[in-house]
Amino acid sequence: MHVDAKLHSDAATRIVLADAFGLVSDLPTTVETGCGQRVPYAMTASRPEGVTCTACREFAAEQHADAAEQALRLARMPGIGVPIDDLLRAARAHRDLAERYREA
């Protein structure tokens, strides 16, 4: 099993649109993975424990570590307009995901 190179952001966008407008788009049938392959969407996992491709696990760990750092940088910016607690919570969640991808 692989990880979607977009870290399933298409699915998250689909959920937001469905919740906000009642519109539901189709998910892609194939996606590019963290290891550079193009595979059926069904061959990707969103939980770290489900990803068996080592290159994909490393890719996802790096992406989540970068997202955690970005959230922390935003939290230090004055007047960002997003509650600091939300940014710190997001950073913690991304750090935890990065660690889970590294553990297996």
Q: What are the pLDDT tens digits along the chain (104 aa)?
A: 999 888 877 766 667 777 788 777 777 789 999 999 999 989 999 899 999 999 999 999 999 999 999 999 999 888 888 889 999 999 999 999 999 999 96
HEC string of 12-73?
HHHHHHHHHHCCCCCCCCEEEECCCCEEEHHHECCCHHHCCCHHHHHHHHHHHHHHHHHHHH
**Which pLDDT value is given to residue 27?**
72
Considering the entire predicted model, what is its pTM? Answer: 0.82
CA distances from 26 to 23, 37, 41, 76 (A): 10, 21, 12, 38
Are 54 and 61 in contact by the 8 Å Cβ rule? The answer is no
CB within 8 Å of 42: residues ≥ 6 apart: none
